[in-house]
Amino acid sequence: MRLDKFLSNQTGLSRKEVKELLRRGGVTVNGKGEKSADRQIDPEKDTVLSGGKQVLYKPYIYIMMNKPVGVVSASRDPKEKTVLDLLAPEDRHRELFPAGRLDKDTTGFVLLTDDGDFAHRILAPGKHVPKTYLVGLAEPVTQACVDAFSAGMTLANGEVCRPAELTLPDPENRQVTQVVLREGMYHQIKRMFGACGNRVISLKRTKIGNLPLDQNLEEGAYREILHKELEQIL
């Protein structure tokens, strides 16, 4: 990889800023000063320092975002604000995209990454990575609805859902439920409750795999997912 590309990818500096940094003599490769932007390096083996500090190589990044209402989980949209618009300018230099979709009015855990293979593995229908949601309902949930979720229900258009878990975090309040899905059909939770004669009034994704959304993240905020946390997803 070219040295200027490596520095720009890993630090968020623009190519122009990297050129200036190199010109000023701020960069060493394996202990020797390096000024050429097109110097080829092996990011896995070569040690690059900028201003005396090692530039660590992260081939991919993984971000956990708490999506607010009103933002679409797409990479771009002609009219709507997207999850990528919520990133700080210094976090926009990688080609991040959301791994999976939440509706515009759904809040909670969206995973952004530039690792296409990882995203594919989370989304692949055959993998059945569980996704957990907190669901506010217009009407108290009935036992018949709980049973229909666990049996695997048929939606109004004939689509058949895999069995899903529906539980009550507070048994005193049957209008708040937790649902775990192992697939992701269009508007699935809304349509499942619709098929039970109920209506979703709020929906938040709280977990992907076994990794919960960080409770300290305000809506619209995000943080990097730690390496060891990735193992909780797949």
Site residues, ligand URA (CB under 6 A): 102-103, 106, 187-190, 203
Instruction: Read off the amino acid at residue 113.
Output: T
Task: Using the minimum distance from each CB to ligand URA, give the nearer residue, 18 or 71.
Answer: 71
Task: Using the minimum distance from each CB to ligand URA, give the nearer residue, 27 or 179.
Answer: 179
The verdict on whether 103 is a catalytic residue reads yes
Q: How far is the CB of 187 from ligand URA (least distance, A)?
A: 4
* Residue of 103, 114, 115, 214 marked active site: 103
DSSP state string for 153-197: PBPTTS-BPPP-EEE-SSTT-TTEEEEEESS--TTHHHHHHHHTT
> In whole angstroms, what separates CA 169 from the centre of its chain?
24
Question: Tell me, what DSSP letter sits at residue 37?
Answer: T
Neighbours of 21 (CB within 10 A): 20
Residue with structure tokens 């009015």?
105
Q: How far is the CB of 83 from ligand URA (least distance, A)?
A: 13
CA 165 vs CA 80, 118, 119, 161: distances in Å: 33, 25, 24, 12
Q: How far is the CB of 5 from ligand URA (least distance, A)?
A: 36
Catalytic center residues: 103
